[in-house]
Structure 1
Amino acid sequence: VFDDMLLHVDGWLCEIKDAAIRDGLHVLGQAPDAETEVDLVLAMLRARQLWGGSQSLPGLREALGLVENDSSRGDVDRVEQIARDLVSTCADDDWSTEAVAAAAADHPDEVGEILTFAATEVVPRLRQTSREIDQVLHALDGGFIEAGPSGSPLRGLINVLPTGRNFYSVDPKAVPSQLAFETGRAMADSLVERYLADHGEYPASVGLSVWGTSAMRTSGDDVGEILALLGVAPVWDEMSRRITGVELVPLAELGRPRIDVTIRISGFFRDAFSHVVTMLDDAVRLAADADEPDSDNFVAAHARAALAEHGDARRATTRVFGSRPGTYGAGLLQLIDSKQWRTDDDLAAVYTEWGGYAYGRELDGVAAVDDMRAAYRRIAVAAKNTDTREHDIADSDDYFQFHGGMIATVRSLTGSNPEAYIGDSTRPDAVRTRTLHEETSRVFRARVVNPRWLSAMRRHGYKGAFEMAATVDYLFGYDATTDVVADWMYEQLTEQYVLDETNREFLQQSNPWALHGISERLLEAVERDMWHEPPAELLDELRRVYLDAEGDIEERTES
């Protein structure tokens, strides 16, 4: 047992140490230089490189022999240090051909190919960041700005660089791409395997929040996962690579029951991917119409039960919900900021009123709050995926609004929490599923209270202070909806954000409103018993800083 614990701790430390931490915010027209450039190139070279159509290169660590999912902390540290030494050596000689050849001499051929790729493609494209201001001015002058693809360069899509171009998105009729469907299928397998390990049975229904920005970055990882859970596969046109329809995967090939999926789409996804919304609805109906036993097809089982209840076949298969046509968001940010809420029922009422509109074939935002609530009562797993290391669940209010709101709504409707999972496809070849508690702890340790991140934010003055305050707000929102923030986290936020002398002085000088907001939010957590047992001395100090910040703001306003 002790050996198992040591392995678990080793794996956990490995994840925390290996997390990519942003070293500050992007400044328009400012290209990374020196050590910052080395760090960014290393981060980009972790992923498999998709380049030139059929050409593909492994990640640098993979080429050096690291097996990501089966490596100890020592293996990761050793290979990461080798990779850093190689990149630093090349950078010291400004990525010359001779430096690349010398650095790669004692390593497999693929290492040389990757370093050459970095020297000829990655670094030159990164250094063109300095043209961003010129491009903005050229556009304002009525000049032509060339187009370029969108996506995340940390997922092997180096062709999205250089920045400063008019980026274009994906063809909605080609979502999911074949690669995205394979990634989505791996994510579905990971989710099911995690639930099986945790509960010893298959989840009858999964709730998943789907965003348009993610679909653009990945060409449809989330969509691929939904189809895979349903046991449905896309049919692509060989020439255009567009989706022409969907087909059932035979149960024998699927190897498990078809899992019901309830989908909460964002307003942007609704607007940009209406064709995909229709396809998802078709996929649900296809699975629901299959002549299969309830034990092998949870979609059909739930549809049959709903049909017997109200007799409406269209309502019985409604699984895609979103905000009213022309509106956006989930409503919880406004509610939490107003402080006009007390219980899960308050959160659920707003979440379902805002999101209780049905979408799909013959459905264009029809009011369907009752059907949404019926679908949510079945949810065993509430999931949200992350697809890029460029931000995390404490970087945006949308995470707690959509994912946290789903969890709070299920809890309000059923009296118990669904399993809360975060799917990680930041590396499509090594997807994984974590619980929300695991992901929150990982993000908290790796970024939120990481001195490197705090120091980086302090370089950005007012905006850096705003980012700190926003992080506290988003964690508070997640805790309000999911009870995921532990007392020790609130203590560390208080100690490092408010009471640390260096950070407090920075906030007082750069953005006293941020210091006031952080203190107020932490005190609200105490008042709502979300921070259950704050140390008395710490709480007194927090109240003192809050009152001082309030006085400081009043003086600035009056002057």
Structure 2
Amino acid sequence: MKKRLIPHGLHILDTKPDEEELVDYLLGVLRIDREYPSLLKLLASCDETDRTDNVEKHPETGSLLKSELEDEAKNVILSIIKKGNVPSYLPDGYNEFVEGIVSNINDSKEAEGLLKALDGKFITPSRGGDPIRDPEVYPTGRAMYAFDPRQIPTVAAETRGQQAAELLINSYREEHGTYPQRVGIVLWGFETLKTGGDTIATILALLGMRIKHQKGAWFKNIEVIPLEVLGRPRIDVTITICGIFRDTLATHIDFINRAIRRVTRLEESPEDNYPRKHYLEDEEELGDLAMARVFGPAPAEYATSMRTMVENGNWEDEEELVESYQDSMKYAYQEGNITESSEAFNRALSRVDLVTQERDNTEYEVTDLDHYYEFLGGLARTIESTRGEKADILVVDSTEEEVQVEGLSQTIRRASRTRLLNPSWIDGMLKHEFHGAQKVQDSLEYLMGFAATTGQVENWLFDEAADKLLFDEEMRERIQENNPYAAVKMGEILLETERRGYWEADEDKIKKLRDLVVKMDAEVE
């Protein structure tokens, strides 16, 4: 948790980071290998002891060493930005690289850019994206664009995607002793644009395929990795997309479908080629839809109706959420065709052994956006209903130096500790009148959303939320002062969570909470 970047409240137009925030941001940038090696790696290997080996191979001491390295790195960053004595082991040009990032941040002119836009004047274009992954998004205040979608997946994304695929497969095999025959994948548009196509590369790697690099090629070509080189079966996929992916990356829907069509037609044993195996099993009944692997909302829609049901409490049991998700996501996207087919969607879900989604930036944890429980949780809960048992859920985390995978319960636990239950995060939010407490309330609501869709929210998280947000008188009064409606809503969410069976709390605590909600509600009126 210590090395996780935690947002310092919400962004305020034209506000520059203070020194502490700037150092934290630069540490996030410099811990990643790019044109220069990671600053942590430079520090670890700069002296006679060479701490690199201890960090990588000894987990019991490696985390302590990493904390030491991060503290040292912060001192180095301070020296650079204050133009003090800089270590001699830094590569040529390193100082200028860091100073350039700082200069670009200070050159941000957001209000000026907004006023120019409103006045119909020219605004200098610039690439948008995650500022940790791509610091060239600074200075802000320019007209953002993504980048040429024909370059997706990029070479860097291909490497990360291959790593993610192997980690997913190995994690599943360690738990079950077999390969997953089919992986359910959530694929978002903004994530794809920010990462350069990590998840698309993961899909190709699972299928046992890779990009065939050609100089100057306008479109990516795919080549099949021979089974003897791959060393494992080809893993089947079921992909769920959002409307933004459909609208911005339609060419890549066709790209994925071409890969699926090609792999299912390989003359290989079905036991070595799970996409082919499942296609052959379903072809007689489903026809060409037996090859459908990409599903999403109707052409005019962008998400599911399930999220609104959770927000309004307008549901009695989880099967209603499942039906809502199925009804929203039953559209098969194939090359040039969109077909409404509950049968094809349910058949595809019934074989999924493992569900996954990538978390690609430090700005949002899975409890910061309702779309995470809507898409990842909704997919997992619908698979459970369709196949009669739960599928494993693993989150691919590409926010650090190395790609990692972890169980959803671990992801939720960390997200709650760094956000909802973290006084520093709450303090940052409450600096923003009304909207700050609303964000805290949202995080609690999304936690309940995950409880409803996955059952992977531990009981103590709701205990801690009640204790820290409402039963702590000082914190409750701060939240009420910021947004009294949000304070009442938090109490109502906790009561709903208990009523639905996702939180086991003793009778005294529930009575205390009910009385508190009544009291806060009366004070609002």
Deviation above 3 Å: which 4+ runs of structure 1? Answer: 66-71, 112-116
2:387 aligned partner, one-letter code? T
- 2:5 corresponding residue in structure 1: 20
Counterparts of 1:109-508 in structure 2, within 5 Å, are: 109-110=90-91, 113-119=93-99, 121-129=100-108, 131-155=109-133, 157-240=134-217, 242-308=218-284, 310=285, 312=287, 314-363=288-337, 365-427=338-400, 430-508=402-480
1:197 aligned partner, one-letter code? E
**Preserved CA contact (<8 Å) 1:332 1:351:** yes
Q: Does 1:103 align with 2:86?
A: yes
- Tell me the secondary structure at the aligned position of residue 2 of structure 2: helix
**Preserved CA contact (<8 Å) 1:175 1:243:** no
Render the CA deviation track for 1:360-409: whole Å, top value 9, x for unaligned: 2142x210111000000000001111111111100101000000001110
* Partner Cα separation in structure 2 for residue 547 and residue 510 of structure 1: 19
Render the CA deviation track for 1:138-177: whole Å, top value 9, x for unaligned: 221222100001221212x121111111111122222111
1:398 aligned partner, one-letter code? H
* Partner Cα separation in structure 2 for residue 467 and residue 541 of structure 1: 24
Name the Cα RMSD after superposition: 1.6
2:358 aligned partner, one-letter code? N
Name which of structure 1's ranges 229-238 and 415-424 shifts more when overlaid on structure 2: 229-238
Render the CA deviation track for 1:405-450: whole Å, top value 9, x for unaligned: 01110111122110011001123x5111101011111212232211
**Preserved CA contact (<8 Å) 2:434 2:482:** yes
Q: CA deviation at 1:116?
A: 3.3
Q: CA deviation at 1:42?
A: 1.8
Q: CA deviation at 1:285?
A: 1.1
Q: Does 1:82 align with 2:72?
A: yes
Render the CA deviation track for 1:511-547: whole Å, top value 9, x for unaligned: 1111011110000011111112x13332222212211
Q: CA deviation at 1:20?
A: 1.2
* Partner Cα separation in structure 2 for residue 422 and residue 69 of structure 1: 22
Q: CA deviation at 1:484?
A: 1.4
* Partner Cα separation in structure 2 for residue 36 and residue 245 of structure 1: 43
Q: CA deviation at 1:502?
A: 2.4
In structure 1, which of residues 509, 519, 525 is the aligned counterpart of residue 491 of structure 2?
519
1:253 aligned partner, one-letter code? V
In structure 2, which of residues 457, 471, 482 is the aligned counterpart of residue 510 of structure 1?
482
* Partner Cα separation in structure 1 for residue 286 and residue 485 of structure 2: 55
Can you give the 5+ residue segments of structure 1 that lack an aligned partner in the other structure?
1-15, 50-55
1:536 aligned partner, one-letter code? E
Name which of structure 1's ranges 340-349 and 182-191 shifts more when overlaid on structure 2: 340-349
* Partner Cα separation in structure 2 for residue 175 and residue 43 of structure 1: 24
* Partner Cα separation in structure 2 for residue 328 and residue 250 of structure 1: 38
**Preserved CA contact (<8 Å) 1:266 1:329:** yes
* Partner Cα separation in structure 2 for residue 293 and residue 85 of structure 1: 58
Counterparts of 1:2-13 in structure 2, within 5 Å, are: none
* Partner Cα separation in structure 2 for residue 69 and residue 209 of structure 1: 31
**Preserved CA contact (<8 Å) 2:311 2:445:** no
- Tell me the secondary structure at the aligned position of residue 390 of structure 2: coil
* Partner Cα separation in structure 2 for residue 439 and residue 244 of structure 1: 33
**Preserved CA contact (<8 Å) 2:168 2:405:** yes
* Partner Cα separation in structure 1 for residue 282 and residue 56 of structure 2: 42
* Partner Cα separation in structure 1 for residue 423 and residue 93 of structure 2: 36
**Preserved CA contact (<8 Å) 2:39 2:73:** yes
* Partner Cα separation in structure 2 for residue 306 and residue 418 of structure 1: 21
TM-score norm. by structure 2 comes to 0.95
**Preserved CA contact (<8 Å) 1:307 1:316:** yes
1:255 aligned partner, one-letter code? G
- Tell me the secondary structure at the aligned position of residue 221 of structure 2: strand
1:230 aligned partner, one-letter code? L
**Preserved CA contact (<8 Å) 1:235 1:243:** no
In structure 2, which of residues 510, 514, 519 is the aligned counterpart of residue 543 of structure 1?
514
* Partner Cα separation in structure 1 for residue 120 and residue 246 of structure 2: 32
1:373 aligned partner, one-letter code? N
* Partner Cα separation in structure 2 for residue 142 and residue 526 of structure 1: 53
Render the CA deviation track for 1:255-306: whole Å, top value 9, x for unaligned: 1110000000010000100000001011111111111111111110000000
1:254 aligned partner, one-letter code? L
**Preserved CA contact (<8 Å) 1:237 1:243:** no
* Partner Cα separation in structure 2 for residue 382 and residue 74 of structure 1: 32
- Tell me the secondary structure at the aligned position of residue 77 of structure 2: helix
Q: CA deviation at 1:69?
A: 4.8
- 2:14 corresponding residue in structure 1: 29
**Preserved CA contact (<8 Å) 1:344 1:411:** no
Whichever structure has more helix as a proportion of its residues is: 1
Render the CA deviation track for 1:322-376: whole Å, top value 9, x for unaligned: 000011112211121232323332121111110000112142x210111000000
Can you give the 5+ residue segments of structure 2 that lack an aligned partner in the other structure?
45-50
- Tell me the secondary structure at the aligned position of residue 234 of structure 2: coil
- Tell me the secondary structure at the aligned position of residue 299 of structure 2: coil
- Tell me the secondary structure at the aligned position of residue 64 of structure 1: helix
Identity among equivalent positions (%) equals: 30
**Preserved CA contact (<8 Å) 1:344 1:409:** no
* Partner Cα separation in structure 2 for residue 283 and residue 342 of structure 1: 41
- Tell me the secondary structure at the aligned position of residue 476 of structure 1: helix
* Partner Cα separation in structure 2 for residue 62 and residue 524 of structure 1: 48
Paired positions, count: 514
**Preserved CA contact (<8 Å) 1:284 1:317:** yes
**Preserved CA contact (<8 Å) 1:31 1:128:** no
* Partner Cα separation in structure 1 for residue 426 and residue 487 of structure 2: 14
1:403 aligned partner, one-letter code? L
Render the CA deviation track for 1:436-489: whole Å, top value 9, x for unaligned: 011111212232211111111121121111110010111111111001111110
Q: CA deviation at 1:114?
A: 3.2
**Preserved CA contact (<8 Å) 1:396 1:474:** yes
CA distance 1:132–1:235, shift in 2 (3 Å): same
- 2:47 corresponding residue in structure 1: none
Q: CA deviation at 1:113?
A: 4.2
